[in-house]
Amino acid sequence: MAIDRRTLLGVGVAAASTALLGKTHAASEIPASRAKRLRRIATEEAWSIPEHIEALIGIGQTSWDNLDAMSWRPVTAASPLARRLVDIDERLRIMDQLGVDMHVLSLTSPGVQMFERAHAVAMAALANDRMAEIIRARPARFAGLASFAPQDPARAAKEIERCVTKLKLNGFIVNSHTNNEYLDLPKYWEIFEAAEALNAAIYIHPRCPADTMARPYSDYEMRAAIWGFQAEVGVHAVRLMLAGVFDRFPKLTVVLGHMGENVPFHLWRTDHWFERRRASYASKLLPSEIFKRNIMITTSGVEHGPALRYAIEVLGADRIMWAIDYPYEEMPPAVTFMNEVGISESDRAKVLHENAERVFHIEPA
């Protein structure tokens, strides 16, 4: 039973979750060889605070024709999505039912990137402080990816330092484009400089396509997960590679969700045309070389064995982390998928927890 993002914005989320829990394996029924001895760390788990949701709802109620604003138009403070984003107790109950050990929390898309600069800086700091409080209260159950405001790169770099050194958060999340710009532009590179210096990964999470590419995605609900998200973040990732970001910051780690936002499945052809036009690009590295050195992917929202096995074959199991994408996706299918997918037990352990422990500096259990 698939639950898409539009369904989550409706009134039936709680009932759908209950139905899924009834259909999946209970934790006690999962084979011991796969369930009980492997820690489960889910690495792309959306979360928010009331102030953030209120601000996004406010944007949704304007006449702005931006695709992200349109996505927030149906949401109210009382909607199931808003409630689930802030409800830590319900999240923990479902995690306990399914044997999910930890969620790596991150401020839900589009984060702070639609706000005016000062508002964005303040909202990121507030959300990061609240996230740190949740993690301090339950350090065995939660880790966190901090937000920053690309609208002010200098302040973003300072917030990156604060979140690692003072709040002890585990990495960072950015929701792709900001003001229709991408992070390949050199004016944003002090963000990468700060993250690399602190060995902190940056997760590039989707949002709807930028205004500059929005028109074809405004029909047929294409703006979101069915196609717009992966198309938009895939563009962002390839821009970073071709712009020479990873030549300049060779130790930087970037994370892409949703099985790599389609990019791994096109690496052969991307390399092929890169070789034919090397002089056009700032990078000296093949895209595949960058991907295997600097980029991690997660399984979020892709419970498809052939896709996971392909990613393991092309990238290696060391480059893949498990994720659920809760509450936009439900936990039971993601747990069942990783219990049953046909991969080696050593690869399963890497995907379920070992890679997340390494990349996000999570203490091994």
Q: Which residues are catalytic?
A: 325
- Helical (H) or strand (E) element with 104: strand 102-107
What is the rounded distance in angstroms from the CA atom of residue 133 to the CA atom of residue 164?
14
The token duo for 212 is 């500059």
Q: End-to-end CA distance of the chain: give it in Å, rounded.
A: 32
- Say if residues 176 and 182 touch (Cβ distance below 8 Å): yes
What is the rounded distance in angstroms from the CA atom of residue 169 to the CA atom of residue 164?
5
Partners of 41 in the beta sheet?
Answer: 102
For the stretch 116-121, contacts whose Cβ atoms lie closer than 8 Å and that sit 24 or more positions apart, written own/partner, are: 116/151, 117/149, 117/151, 117/152, 119/55, 120/149, 120/151, 120/152, 121/149, 121/151, 121/152, 121/155, 121/159
How many CB atoms are located within 10 Å of the residue 350 CB? 23
